[in-house]
Structure 1
Amino acid sequence: MKHLKKLHVQVILALLLAVALGLGAPQTAMAMKPLGQGFIALLKMLLAPIVFCTVVHGIAHARDLGRLGRLGFKTLVYFEVVSTLAMAVGFVLVNVFEPGAGLHATNLAEPEPIARAATAAGEGLTFANFALGMIPHTLVDAFARGDILQVLVVSILAGIALNQAVGADSVILRGIDEGQKVLFKILGYIMRLAPIGAFGAMAAAVGSYGGTTLLYLMKLVVLYYAASLFFVFVVLGAICWYAGFSLMAILRLIKDELLLVLGTASGEVAFPRLVVKLKNAGCDEMVVGFVLPAGYSFNLDGTSIYMAIAIGFIAQATDTPFSLMQQVGMLAVLMLTSKGGTTVAGGAFIKLAATLQTLRQLPLGGLGLLFGIDRLLATATATVNMVGNVVAVFALARWEGGFDQERYRAAIADAEKPSPEKTT
């Protein structure tokens, strides 16, 4: 019975019950959707203030702002290289296995909701608008909208200003530190609802889409999951090896967060707990505070794989000629369009729609093929995004000399103990 006190065990049981309910009573399962939506909404409520407190606290206490500049440069270079590798993996696999070949879906109409969403997203798809979109209208607006990229910009500016304007014993910094503790206490209360949230989200997904769509597009789903596993265990595994870490040890460390993301298809649900775990695992506070929030906007490896495979699949399924040079050009555009936004379920689908609407090389109606299985794909997308960001924090902490090996070993050993789950 003591194992039932562990969060990951509770989530696993909730997911199994959700699948059973979805297959046995689809209508009842779909009615469970508000449980998942409510849990995600509770966690999203905490994201902006947690990002702000974490980033400001880390930068304000940094003794060397030049180090922050170096960290920022290395972080952005790392993100661009790794996410481009993710896209390349997707393009190679979709060209080799051709999951859409033979479908001959040449007369697809553009579903009106998809067309509207794509047009709205595509209209603002320029580098200038992307850069300007990072700047909030007011300091408060960034928090009101919950735009993590804008909150990150405000947090960096505030952290640098506090670093230079006040002392380490400033009442403002003490207030931010105590505010962070209060937020994590609230998080602990919310996380007790994680099994209920995961149950609601998964039950609704299984009940809505059932087995027909799975059979119809099974080849695509299998290929996408295989690409995701290949990227995590080969590409990210190689990065971990080069940085001196064990990928399997890191995955054991974040097993609770992995299950939450698998259940909700949203990477945001894991962010608050990852902040605590990564700092406790020996990563420097400034590295965690900068790299992790930035990764949620710039290091979306799963989204990159999704967009590459989805574009190849649509071209094959609609019998649209799509040469190698066109794919390379599309890859260059995806390096921009895959960035930004949030990691909620469906986010990658909207980015894909915006890309197709802007370039107009592939039929927008091809998105209708993916709409039914987007929830299945979103699960892997969010999971790969999260693992990629965790690996980025560990790697950059090591390369920046901001890593405590002893704390890391203690955290890994603690994660492997058969002890009841502790909430933060």
Structure 2
Amino acid sequence: MAVIYGICHLADIKNAGSIVWQTILYFFIISSVAISIGFIFGIAIQPGSHTGIQIVKTKVILPSRFEINDSSLSSVIYRNRYAIFLIASIIIGICMNLSKRRKSFLNILDKGLVIFYHIIKYLYIILPVIIFCNIAYGISVYGINTLLPLSKVVGTAYLADIAFIFGVLGLVSYIFKFNLLKFLVSIKEEIILVITTSSSKTAFPIIFDKMESEGYSKKILRFIIPLGYNFNLAGACIYISVACCFLIQFYNISLSLNDYLWLFVIISVTSKTASGVPGSGFLALIFTLNRFGKIPANDIALLYSVDRFMNEARSVTNFIGIAVSGAIISKINQPVEKNAP
């Protein structure tokens, strides 16, 4: 819905063509840098080496009705469902943008987004139960001694996120003469909301009003920010790359440069599925492992037991990265918007 919402606002932007290319280039560069930072910190700190955690042999047996036949059409659709949804959203958004009833569609989308986020807000009531189950399962299977070694991977993800926010985004802000610290202070309420809910999307409805009140272009923000929630998830990119490094080191797997490049490409794609309710980043990690095929997912519950702690960091990083992208592209094109007839 966010993708359709963003594309539908293209008609409101005078220099839409140049903004589209700026957005694509910006999202591609930032996402690539985020993945690289995750690899750099994961390889440098080595959170998965010498953990002392004993690999537990667990066997999960699913009922036959849940078995997936890889050769069936339904299986192919299921494995690629997120890519199908994204492509369908883009097509629908373009069709709505060209329709004469475009304004009616936008009104429906506005109301739909409000209803959706009200539902999500009440779903957060069960979050403490989910967190309890995550940690309890990990401790029951691997023992309480696993928490200390796993804190290393949590710390690695946090350090990588901090380096990205104040290093990469700080450099980008300096290049475009944009005061990052002042901007972060101006959206501190939204950042706190993201931290408390562990989801970047809880601040989606209110970030528009906040940034528009700060003087950023409403038309550009309504295009950039919704798309950013699917294509500019820097926190998810960092989390998945750090988690993959942890598992590679945990299993002592030897990978070639080509393997890392292929993993880089896979993360670039699967990270786009990490936008949603809390924990969607962990699902994106599972998709990554399944696609890559060279990292076992047998002990993925190890990371699941501490995923809640990393979820806060990646949600905040996602949100800040999205907000900064809207601010910078709006700043670049603001003179054009003001001078447009």
Match of 2:260 in 1: 327
User: 2:15 aligned with 1:59, yes or no?
Assistant: no
TM-superposed deviation, 1:107: 4.1
CA distance in 2, matches of 1:403, 1:252: 27
CA distance in 1, matches of 2:318, 2:260: 23
Unaligned runs of 5+ in 1: 1-47, 137-149, 166-171, 406-424
CA contact (8 A) 1:125 1:358 kept: no
TM-superposed deviation, 1:392: 0.4
Match of 1:154 in 2: 92
User: 2:313 aligned with 1:383, yes or no?
Assistant: no
Q: Alignment partner for residue 298 of structure 1, among 210, 231, 251?
A: 231
TM-superposed deviation, 1:305: 0.3
Q: Alignment partner for residue 215 of structure 1, among 148, 162, 177?
A: 148
CA distance in 2, matches of 1:118, 1:357: 14
TM-superposed deviation, 1:119: 9.8
Q: Alignment partner for residue 86 of structure 2, among 113, 131, 134?
A: 134
CA distance in 2, matches of 1:113, 1:385: 35
Matches within 5 A, 1:235-254: 235-254=168-187
CA contact (8 A) 2:233 2:318 kept: yes
* Larger mean Cα displacement after TM superposition, 218-227 or 340-349: 340-349
Match of 1:36 in 2: none
TM-superposed deviation, 1:134: 2.6
TM-superposed deviation, 1:80: 0.9
The one-letter amino acid paired with 2:25 is V
- Relative to structure 1, is the Cα distance of residues 403 and 95 closer, same or farther in structure 2, using a 3 angstrom cutoff? farther
CA distance in 1, matches of 2:103, 2:201: 26
CA contact (8 A) 2:31 2:233 kept: yes
TM-superposed deviation, 1:254: 1.4
- Relative to structure 1, is the Cα distance of residues 239 and 353 closer, same or farther in structure 2, using a 3 angstrom cutoff? same
TM-superposed deviation, 1:236: 0.8
TM-score relative to the length of structure 1: 0.65
TM-superposed deviation, 1:290: 1.2
Match of 1:95 in 2: 43
Q: Alignment partner for residue 76 of structure 1, among 2, 5, 24?
A: 24
CA contact (8 A) 1:291 1:393 kept: yes
Unaligned runs of 5+ in 2: none
The one-letter amino acid paired with 1:373 is V
User: 2:217 aligned with 1:284, yes or no?
Assistant: yes
Matches within 5 A, 1:226-375: 226-340=159-273, 342-375=275-308
Matches within 5 A, 1:171-210: 173=103, 176=106, 180=110, 201=127, 205=131, 209=135
CA contact (8 A) 1:84 1:335 kept: yes
CA distance in 2, matches of 1:331, 1:161: 38
- Tell me how large the CA RMSD over aligned residues is: 3.9
Matches within 5 A, 1:107-126: 107-109=55-57, 112=60
State the Cα deviation string for residues 367-423 of structure 1 (Å, max 9, x = none). Answer: 122010111111111110110000100111122236899xxxxxxxxxxxxxxxxxx
CA distance in 1, matches of 2:183, 2:204: 15
TM-score relative to the length of structure 2: 0.80
TM-superposed deviation, 1:159: 2.7
CA distance in 2, matches of 1:387, 1:286: 19
CA distance in 1, matches of 2:195, 2:67: 26
Give the aligned length.
325
- Relative to structure 1, is the Cα distance of residues 370 and 69 closer, same or farther in structure 2, using a 3 angstrom cutoff? same
The one-letter amino acid paired with 1:154 is I
- Relative to structure 1, is the Cα distance of residues 301 and 122 closer, same or farther in structure 2, using a 3 angstrom cutoff? farther
The one-letter amino acid paired with 2:34 is A
CA distance in 1, matches of 2:52, 2:190: 40
TM-superposed deviation, 1:309: 0.5
CA contact (8 A) 2:34 2:238 kept: yes
State the Cα deviation string for residues 91-137 of structure 1 (Å, max 9, x = none). Answer: 011111101111365745466399x89999995698x876543344x
The one-letter amino acid paired with 1:133 is F
